[in-house]
Structure formats: C-alpha cells, structure tokens
Amino acid sequence: MIQRIQSAYLLVVLIGSLFLVFTDTVYFESGDEPASHVTVDFNSTDNSQEHFENTRLMYWLYAIAAVALISIFMFRNRGFQTKLVMAIIALWVVVYVFMYSYSLGKGYFDHEQSEHFTFNALIPLALLILSVLALRNIRKDEALVRSVDRFR
C-alpha cells in the first residue's frame, strides 16, 4: 500500500488537508482594528481577534482528505487511482478559488489597510504540487507495468 512514492505523496496530501481543517491556520491577514484573519476554523470569534468562519472551504478540504484516503487504497487499480488523483487536483483548484475569493472579498483592493496573504496560504499549493507528483508517478508506474506486459 505505502510501497510506492505516489502513496506517500497521497498520504502527505491526506495529512496536510486534515491539518488545514483541524488547526487554526491563518492564510489572510488584514491590518485594520481589530486585526481580522481569514482562517479555516470552527470558532467564529476569539477574544483578541475576529475570526471569519469559512465552512465551505472546510468541506472541500474534507472531500480532498476522503478522496486521498480512497486513492491510497486503490493501488491495484491504477486507472481508477489516476482519475481520483485528477479529482484531487480539481478539488485543490476549487479550494484555491474559495480561499482567494473569500479573502479578496474582504476589501483587499481598498488600499486603506495593510492586507496580505500569509505564508500558510502556500500550504495548499505545496499539497497541490504533491498531488501532481502523485499523478505523474502513477502514470509512470502504469507505463512500466504495460511495458513489462509486452515482453510476456
């Protein structure tokens, strides 16, 4: 199951998406008073900061984690595993659209405040790259199996 590198990539994608769901990861900060942060969390208010609840993003991250878990166990059916990883890549694109549309809707272009995306906004990008690497290695694995089958 975790014998191939693509399974390790998918396991990191699974753990990373669950990390984004269950931690208070701030990916957008606004410099107004009080400082507002856009996060993926269950709490809508905090004593020191205002947190915006973003449950749609949380549901998409749950979907990525579920599809990654299923695709790890589909190592014998590489065709279906390829389709699942393509779905994961599409879901990461949806997550990015939700992240940035929700953040930019908070007055990003007003220039009255200092607003910026944090370093944590790169975590989904890294997980997207790992998903693409998993897809590439699944395809290489399938090509290797097909080339060996030609010799029989």
pLDDT of residue 56: 77
Average pLDDT of 9-27?
A: 85
For the chain, state the CA radius of gyration: 19
Average pLDDT of 125-136?
A: 94
Q: 22-26, 113-117, 122-126: which has the minimum mean pLDDT?
A: 113-117
Angle between helix axes 55-72 and 78-104 (nearest 10 degrees) is 160
**Residue 88: how many CB atoms within 10 A of its CB?**
28
| Position with higher pLDDT, 132 vs 35 | 132
pLDDT at 45 over 50: no
Domain count, the chain: 1
HSE-CB for 123 with a 13 A CA cutoff: 24
pLDDT tens by residue, 69-116: 999 998 888 899 999 999 999 999 988 887 777 766 655 555 555 666
For the chain, percent of residues with pLDDT exceeding 90: 35
| Position with higher pLDDT, 70 vs 3 | 70
pLDDT at 4 over 70: yes
Q: How far is CA 76 from CA 2, 12, 79, 89, in A?
A: 12, 20, 9, 20
Do the bridges between strand 50-52 and strand 26-30 make them parallel or antiparallel, or are there none, so unpaired? Answer: unpaired
Spatial contact of 85 and 7, defined as CB atoms under 8 Å apart: no
pLDDT of residue 115: 62
pLDDT at 55 over 70: yes
Task: Report residue 4 as tokens.
Answer: 């191939």
Q: Domain containing 71: what range? A: 5-151
Handedness of CA 130, 84, 62, 37 (dihedral sign): positive
3-state secondary structure of 136: helix
Spatial contact of 76 and 4, defined as CB atoms under 8 Å apart: no
pLDDT of residue 47: 47
pTM above 0.85, yes or no: no
pLDDT of residue 43: 43
- Distance (Å, whole) CA 18 – CA 75: 21
Spatial contact of 137 and 9, defined as CB atoms under 8 Å apart: yes
- Distance (Å, whole) CA 49 – CA 33: 9
